[in-house]
Amino acid sequence: MNQNINIIEGVEAHKMGANTGLDTQVRCLTLNFFSYKMILPNAVVAEVTEMGKIEPRLGAPDWFAGIMSWREQEIPVLVFEKIMHSEASRPQNYRRVIILNTPNNKGCAPFIALGCQSIPSLSLVDEGRLAPAEQKEPQVVSIKLDGEQYIIPRIDFLEQKVSSVMSE
């Protein structure tokens, strides 16, 4: 009966070597964007940090904010609202970035940063709080948490998009 919790765990947690076993709870970060709510399993989050200086990349799509230096590495910063085709903040308005592990490392950096304005909240998500939701977008998995709609970004989808920009 762990089908719903496996939705969260299955979004990259297994790729990160997380021990899922028979656990019925997953530690997650939840955060609000302009037009949706996101949930991220802790297994995919490397760090939440203050926004650094972003160097734009000429000719990049509007969802690619640029490159930010983090721990002596160059990390691509994405405007996730643009990937979702919704209202987007301007990258300079972001106060924080969520650094995500990219376990497949498909021709890009081992990390991707998502800009955000809100402060993520820690949450322990268990089976009873989850319900399936209609899948509308290929870039995310949609779920209901406590009756509210949330999205989980597909890290492999983001990796492919970043790889296409970085290889140009």
CATH 2.40.50.180 fits 3-166, yes or no: yes
Q: How far apart are CA 114 and CA 78, in angstroms?
A: 5
Structure-token match 């509007």, residue found:
62
- What integer best gives the mean pLDDT of the chain? 80
Q: How far apart are CA 112 and CA 160, in angstroms?
A: 11
Q: How far apart are CA 128 and CA 91, in angstroms?
A: 36
Q: What is the pTM of this model?
A: 0.80
Q: How far apart are CA 68 and CA 86, in angstroms?
A: 23
> Mind listing the pLDDT tens digit for each residue in 28-81?
999 887 778 899 999 899 999 998 899 998 899 989 999 999 999 999 999 888
Enumerate residues 6+ apart whose C-beta is below 8 A from 109. Answer: 73, 74, 75, 76, 102, 162, 166
